[in-house]
Amino acid sequence: MYELCGVTRRYRQGPSVIAAVDDVDLRIDEGEFVAITGPSGSGKSTLLTLLGGLDRPTGGQVIFDGVDLARQSDRKLTLLRRHAFGFIFQQFNLIPTLDALENVEAGMAPLGMRSRSRREGARQLLEEVGLDGRVRHLPSQLSGGEQQRVAIARALAKNPRVLLADEPTGNLDSKIGAEIIELIALFSERRRQTVVLVTHDAEASRYASRTFRMRDGRLLDDARLALAAAL
Ligand SMILES: Nc1ncnc2c1ncn2[C@@H]1O[C@H](COP(=O)(O)OP(=O)(O)OP(=O)(O)O)[C@@H](O)[C@H]1O
Ligand SMILES: [Mg+2]
């Protein structure tokens, strides 16, 4: 599904240049659950934006289903983002003036469904994430964990190929955070959805098929980590 070759994202900051992502090679197969950990500033979010076509690398290739994302027009990238990639963020990013049901319906807009079946689908998704009693609540009337459940339902509503999650448990206490990770794992398994999860949560590696660690823009896999630890 994904094939990353020598992916680099440099930022120029005054006279200096930072390689936020530095020469990353990575292959992700359909249906995989990949977790990425690493210290603050190591390039995790930057890598995720490259995977989601929100940004282009300054070097290397991000191939998604045989298509080099760096070479796509803005229009093509927008279409890909709209249909293929679902995003979940630490801050939930729900629309504050819409209730839970309407937020999930908004996530279905790319599918161009009739409003009635959209409403039905959104209701069902909210039930699946355990919020059937909260469909008419505004985000401000929901707890953090509940808001993140709505955000998960919204991200999955268009049935994206890939779910990209950037520290979805960063604003939640550890018990609720573990529930959210479990929910993401459960959903992705049920729908054979590919997941790339950036997290500080050690819990995540229990569900991930592979866990990577980023350091200074570099991506280290389990084997290389073990090797580094042994030296
Ligand atoms: N738009 C930008 N312009 C300049 N530098 C940037 C930009 N975005 C990120 N960086 C730099 O790139 C590096 C990696 O940032 P990134 O946000 O990817 O880290 P992160 O691993 O997600 O950190 P955190 O765990 O704190 O979220 C940092 O040094 C950051 O300052
Ligand atoms: Mg980040």
pLDDT reported for residue 13: 86
How many other C-beta atoms are found inside a 10 Å radius of the C-beta of residue 60? 20
Q: What is each CA distance from 21 to 5, 10, 45, 93, 195, in whole angstroms?
A: 12, 7, 10, 25, 20
In terms of Cα–Cα distance, which of 83, 76, 75, 136 is closest to 107? 83
Residue 65 phi, psi dihedral angles, 5° rounding: 50, 45
pLDDT reported for residue 230: 64
Q: Which tokens belong to 53?
A: 């076509």
pTM for the model: 0.90
Packing angle, helices 144-156 and 115-128, rounded to 10: 130
The answer to whether the CB of 37 is under 6 A from ligand 1 is no
Q: Which tokens belong to 228?
A: 């580094």
Distance from the alpha carbon of residue 51 to the mean position of ligand 2, in angstroms: 14
- What's the chain's length in residues? 231
CA distance 202 to 4: 25
In terms of Cα–Cα distance, which of 99, 93, 176 is closest to 133? 99
For atom 26 of ligand 1, the residue with the nearest CA is: 40
The answer to whether the CB of 48 is under 6 A from ligand 1 is no
Look at the alpha carbons of 75, 77, 82, 87 in this order and tell me if their dihedral is positive or negative: negative
The answer to whether the CB of 43 is under 6 A from ligand 1 is yes
Q: Which listed ligand is nearest to 46 at the C-alpha?
A: 1
CA distance 60 to 66: 14
pLDDT reported for residue 43: 96
Q: What is the DSSP letter of 142?
A: S
pLDDT reported for residue 197: 95
Q: What is the DSSP letter of 141?
A: G
Alpha helices in the chain (DSSP H): 44-51, 74-84, 100-107, 115-128, 144-156, 174-191, 222-230
For atom 12 of ligand 1, the residue with the nearest CA is: 20
Q: Which residue has the tokens 């995989």?
A: 32
Atom number of ligand 1 nearest to Cα 217: 14
Second-level CATH architecture of 28-54+73-230:
3-Layer(aba) Sandwich (3.40)
The amino acid present at 141, given as its one-letter code, is Q
Q: Which tokens belong to 123?
A: 């209701």
Distance from the alpha carbon of residue 216 to the mean position of ligand 1, in angstroms: 10
Tens digit of pLDDT at every position of the chain (231 positions):
999 999 999 999 889 999 999 999 999 999 999 999 999 999 999 999 999 999 999 999 999 999 999 899 999 999 999 899 999 998 899 999 999 999 999 999 888 888 888 999 999 999 999 999 999 999 999 999 999 999 999 999 998 999 999 999 988 888 898 889 999 999 888 888 999 999 987 778 888 989 999 999 999 876 666 666 666
Packing angle, helices 174-191 and 144-156, rounded to 10: 20
pLDDT reported for residue 12: 92
